[in-house]
């Protein structure tokens, strides 16, 4: 998606990825016995689709001006916000160790972000990238709560299909002014991204249907490790010593959270 966003813009990349997602997931949903959801669930699908349109587009816009790892690092304020939203919206009890694990993961992000900002050679558009990703992170915090609610009411195939539908519909409102048609090379990347997104959505929905938000949120931090690796492999974005130190803190935080949940389950 970073490659597609650089080629045709974040909005167009997200619009056409959503369209590809509908094409890919439609048959999967129908062959799995898909039926029209009731009004309550359909509203929830529409709400998350609208949220995802703003969240994903702003994030992809941000990473056209920032390295992948830095973009992911900035987005990690979202799980912390969502940890407390889960207590308010879902009524979950947040353990001290779960909070501590999230803060430890955030400390790893701070190490990386501080090193990056201290380098002193940030592009003029980097501020827009940072602002876009922080906005995306706010929406993502709400998205984490919505996906837990969705997962308790619908199966993963339905969630993936309707998210692609409603995200695409929201973005299509601006198509006459903003859409750009991708060339063949970009379409290949968008189709691959759509397939990965649909698989990811189904796996995440399956997980959130079986576990509380507080136990899963610290695992969001592992995304940084993959972003650093992909940024290095695909875009030659350097992985520095602070990146390695921060990643280690993130992994430790996830390990503590996993142990906390295992102990609570045993009790």
Structural domain includes residue 254: no
> CA 164, CA 198: separation in Å to the nearest integer?
8
Helices (H) and strands (E) in the chain, counts: 13, 0
Tokens of 77: 């304020």
> CA 117, CA 47: separation in Å to the nearest integer?
35
High-pLDDT (> 70) share of the chain, %: 88
> CA 189, CA 56: separation in Å to the nearest integer?
16
**Separation of first and last alpha carbons in the chain:** 43
Confidence of residue 127 (pLDDT cuts 50, 70, 90): confident
- What does the pLDDT average to over 139-152? 85
Tokens of 257: 């959270």
pTM of the model: 0.84
- Condensed to tens digits (0 to 9), the pLDDT of residues 210-256 reads 877 667 766 777 788 888 889 999 999 887 788 788 878 877 876 77
Structural domain includes residue 169: yes
Q: Residue 235 — φ and ψ, nearest 5°? A: -125, 10
Q: Residue 65 — φ and ψ, nearest 5°? A: -115, -10
- Non-local (6+) Cβ contacts of 200 within 8 A are none
How confident is the model at residue 258, as a pLDDT?
57
> CA 9, CA 19: separation in Å to the nearest integer?
16
> CA 67, CA 62: separation in Å to the nearest integer?
9
Give the 3-state DSSP-derived string for 153-172, with helices as H, strands as E and coil as C: CCCHHHHHHHHHHHHHHHHH
Structural domain includes residue 15: yes
How confident is the model at residue 260, as a pLDDT?
56
Eight-state DSSP code of residue 37: P
Structural domain includes residue 67: yes
- Higher pLDDT among residues 114 and 186, named by residue: 186
> CA 55, CA 60: separation in Å to the nearest integer?
9
Structural domain includes residue 89: yes
Give the number of domains in the chain. 1
- What does the pLDDT average to over 39-48? 94
- Higher pLDDT among residues 124 and 166, named by residue: 166
How confident is the model at residue 120, as a pLDDT?
62
Confidence of residue 128 (pLDDT cuts 50, 70, 90): confident
How confident is the model at residue 190, as a pLDDT?
95
Structural domain includes residue 110: no
Which residue is it, tokens 């592009």?
Answer: 123
> Which residues span the domain enclosing 185?
2-93+124-220
> CA 159, CA 226: separation in Å to the nearest integer?
24
User: How high does pLDDT run on average in the chain?
Assistant: 85
Structural domain includes residue 228: no
Rounded to the nearest 10°, the torsion over CA 19, 14, 199, 224 is 180
How confident is the model at residue 265, as a pLDDT?
47
How confident is the model at residue 173, as a pLDDT?
96
Q: Which of 20-29, 34-43, 81-90, 171-180 has the lowest mean pLDDT?
A: 81-90
Residue 267 has pLDDT above 50, yes or no: no
- Condensed to tens digits (0 to 9), the pLDDT of residues 52-110 reads 999 999 999 999 998 898 888 888 777 667 767 767 776 767 778 777 877 887 888 78
Which residue is it, tokens 């669930």?
Answer: 41
Structural domain includes residue 83: yes
> CA 203, CA 209: separation in Å to the nearest integer?
10
């Amino acid at each position: 998606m970073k490659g597609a966003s650089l080629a045709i813009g974040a909005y167009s990349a997200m619009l056409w990825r959503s369209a590809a997602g509908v094409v890919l997931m439609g048959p999967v949903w129908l062959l799995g016995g898909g039926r029209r959801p009731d009004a309550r669930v359909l509203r929830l699908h529409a709400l998350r689709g609208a949220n995802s349109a703003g969240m994903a587009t702003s994030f992809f816009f941000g990473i056209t001006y920032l390295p992948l790892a830095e973009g992911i690092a900035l987005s990690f304020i979202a799980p912390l916000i969502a940890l407390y939203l889960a207590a308010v919206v879902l009524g979950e009890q947040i353990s001290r160790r779960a909070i501590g694990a999230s803060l430890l993961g955030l400390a790893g992000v701070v190490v990386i972000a501080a090193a990056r900002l201290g380098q002193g050679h940030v592009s003029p558009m980097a501020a827009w990238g940072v602002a876009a990703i922080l906005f995306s992170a706010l929406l993502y915090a709400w998205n984490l709560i919505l996906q837990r609610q969705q997962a308790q009411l619908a199966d993963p195939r339905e969630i993936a299909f309707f998210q692609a539908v409603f995200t695409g519909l929201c973005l299509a409102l601006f198509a006459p002014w903003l859409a750009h048609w991708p060339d063949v090379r970009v379409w290949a990347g968008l189709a691959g991204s759509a397939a990965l997104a649909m698989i990811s959505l189904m796996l995440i929905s399956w997980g959130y249907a079986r576990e509380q938000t507080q136990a899963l949120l610290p695992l969001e931090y592992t995304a940084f490790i993959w972003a650093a690796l992909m940024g290095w492999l695909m875009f030659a974005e350097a992985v520095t010593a602070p990146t390695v130190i921060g990643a280690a803190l993130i992994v430790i935080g996830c390990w503590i959270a996993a142990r906390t949940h295992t102990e609570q389950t045993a009790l």
